[in-house]
Amino acid sequence: MAGPVVRIAALADLHCTKLSQGAFHSLFARVGESADILVIAGDLTDNGLPEEAAVLARELSALRVPAAAVLGNHDLQSGRSGEVAQILSAAGLSVLDGDACELQGVGIAGVKGFGGGFGRYALGPWGETMIKQFVHEAVDEALKLEAAFARLRTPRVVALLHYSPIQQTVEGEPLEIYPFLGSSRLEEPIGRYPVSLVVHGHAHRGRLEGRTKNDVPVYNVSMPLLTRTFADRPPFRVFEVELTDASGASDRSTPVVRGRRVTDAVAS
Ligand SMILES: [Fe+2]
Ligand SMILES: [Fe+2]
């Protein structure tokens, strides 16, 4: 028997500046009309400035549904990410960094992630200390994601990242920058937990969809990508997740864009 369905809106890479007042107000209002919850996959601000976060906080007043976010690399640019997170939290966002929250019965595990590349070409912790530190950062982010999953007891879990866990959704970007767009290390914990879907941003010129090797759907919800792909629609996607119990046979996550189903993705 079908259980209740939660509509999850997702977007990333807003890159809000000090001059962005009014730019996102109607977008957030539309999100509230189309979905039950919102997840934002990083790069909320352009330079990681508290002033930019304050502009976005005012825009968020138009949002009428609960929302969670992870920060992106741009949100760390000015070394003031703590202030940025605090301002956005005060505006009602659950800002996740290796932790989890529950929105309308859906578990959200969030971490920024990091680079390092994918599959057999992923950077290994070998040689110079700096290279080892780079790889350790990616490993740490993967461990944080695993810890976030471990805290959740909800039947449905969404992984919210800024960097991609798979190569497929960064394809379209220049090959030379793949290692800076994500890391396969993030894919490992996703395969160990019952994750319904993964959303990420960061790859503005990447691809909309891919799958982990365990067949979990991964969606790149970067706003520049959505704007280019769906020019006549607001730049967010909506995924429907059915809240059956863990043994439910009707497990699915169906991506729709502005209420129109675009594909049928059956989650494992
Ligand atoms: Fe971005
Ligand atoms: Fe980014």
Task: State pLDDT tens for residues 139-182.
Answer: 999 999 999 999 999 989 999 999 999 999 999 999 999 999 99
Residue 140: inside a domain, yes or no? yes
Find the ligand nearest to 46 CA. Answer: 1
Residue 119: inside a domain, yes or no? yes
**Per-residue pLDDT at 187 exceeds 80:** yes
Give the confidence band of 2 by pLDDT, cuts at 50, 70, 90.
low
The first and second tokens of residue 100, run together, are 């989890």
Residue 267: inside a domain, yes or no? no
| C-alpha–C-alpha distance, residues 162 and 222, integer Å | 9
Residue 253: inside a domain, yes or no? yes
User: What CATH number is given to the structural domain containing 146?
Assistant: 3.60.21.10
Instruction: Using a CB cutoff of 5 Å, list residues around ligand 2, an ion.
Output: 43, 72-73, 202
- Could you report the per-residue pLDDT of 106-148, keeping only the tens digit for each? 999 999 999 999 999 999 999 999 999 999 999 999 999 999 9
Q: What is the domain count for the chain? A: 1
Q: Residue 69: which domain range?
A: 5-261
Residue 18: inside a domain, yes or no? yes
Find the ligand nearest to 112 CA. Answer: 2
Distance, CA 73 to ligand 2 centroid (Å)? 5
Residue 185: inside a domain, yes or no? yes
Distance, CA 113 to ligand 1 centroid (Å)? 13
Distance, CA 105 to ligand 1 centroid (Å)? 29
CA angle (222, 196, 92) in 5-degree steps: 55
Residue 228: inside a domain, yes or no? yes
Residue 266: inside a domain, yes or no? no
Distance, CA 123 to ligand 1 centroid (Å)? 22
The first and second tokens of residue 63, run together, are 């949002």
- Which stretch of DSSP H or E encloses residue 157? strand 156-161
Q: Are 218 and 212 in contact (CB under 8 A)?
A: yes
